[in-house]
Amino acid sequence: MTGSEASMNTQADLPRLAVVEVTGSRPDQREYHAKVQTLISRVTGEGEQGGWQVTRTAAADVSVPELLAATIDADAIVIVGGEDIAPRFYGGATGYEGETRHYEVADAGQIALVQRAVAQGTPLLGICRGLQIINVALGGSIVQHIEDDGIHRTDGVPIDRILTAHGVTLLAGSGLAESFGRAEISVQSAHHQSVGRLGDGLVAAALAPDGLVEALEHVTQPITGVQWHPEAPDAPADQLGVLLAVLGGQLASVRFAGELAAA
């Protein structure tokens, strides 16, 4: 066996992580798109460094069946940040303050991904919009606009400075509290919407100082969502690594359970 063949075999043995973004192109929002790409690149880069075989798909750029097919072999999934979810998916109305462009094909595809992950027990992490997608996919609602209170975002500044730092309380008994080994962490966030009514099977796992839900977990499935950005350049250095390690641990548990069932 040649060195290149051995390398290919080693790569094929790595667990497969599907990173799913909203869209691969925003020609009318170049600065915002560049910021989003920087954040996603940190997820893919740290995933690869952590031993994952990473693929990346833009949900708005394919059909829902194509997105599901592209991620069918994924061992774990990360749904990253982006624009607001179209209100029709959670029974809301348009015309709210701060409303962004909607990518309804991406919404439908990512919602379908979450529902399949819950049905099949696939580990899934949602970041920012990804947390909201999880909640909507399971029947929850969205608070369409939260006033700028200096906690969740910084308004009226260039896109590179919109992220703000604040503390988060990880709730006792949550998987996140166990994974981080402490009850209080500092996070970077930038969002004008938040979780409203929690979806079926979901519980709050972390709260912001004003009481807004900053993370959620599924009670029986390996599904986690964080409202903050662990992949932000100024986020604590270990934060994204901890969350990706959670996915790895969940995958190991899923595989072990499958082996027991097959024995």
Residue 139 covered by a domain: yes
Distance of CA 39 to CAs 80, 87, 131, 240, Å?
9, 25, 16, 11
Please give the residue range of the domain that contains residue 134.
16-262
Residue 3 covered by a domain: no
Residue 9 covered by a domain: no
State residue 7's pLDDT score: 47
Of 21, 214, 217, 231, the catalytic one is: 231
Residue 8 covered by a domain: no
Among 19-23, 60-64, 245-249, 259-263, the range scoring the smallest mean pLDDT is 259-263
State residue 11's pLDDT score: 67
Q: Domain total for the chain?
A: 1
Active site residue 166: no
CATH number of domain containing 25: 3.40.50.880
Of 152, 192, 218, 229, the catalytic one is: 229
Find the DSSP H helices in 141-222: 175-180
Among 15-24, 120-129, 183-192, the range scoring the smallest mean pLDDT is 183-192
Residue 2 covered by a domain: no
Q: What is the Cα–Cα distance from 140 to 133, expressed in whole angstroms?
A: 9
The answer to whether 140 and 187 are in contact (CB under 8 A) is: no
Give the model confidence (pLDDT) of 202-217 as tens digits: 999 999 998 899 999 9
**Over residues 73-102, mean pLDDT:** 96
CA atoms within 13 A on the CB side of 154: 11
- With 0-12 / 13-18 / 19 or more C-beta atoms within 10 angstroms meaning exposed / middle / buried, residue 95 is exposed
Active site residue 231: yes
Find the DSSP H helices in the chain: 3-13, 30-49, 64-70, 104-120, 129-137, 175-180, 239-262
Residue 233 covered by a domain: yes
Residue 4 covered by a domain: no
Give the model confidence (pLDDT) of 116-152 as tens digits: 999 999 999 999 999 999 999 999 999 999 886 667 7
Of 128, 152, 217, 218, the catalytic one is: 128
Residue 37 covered by a domain: yes
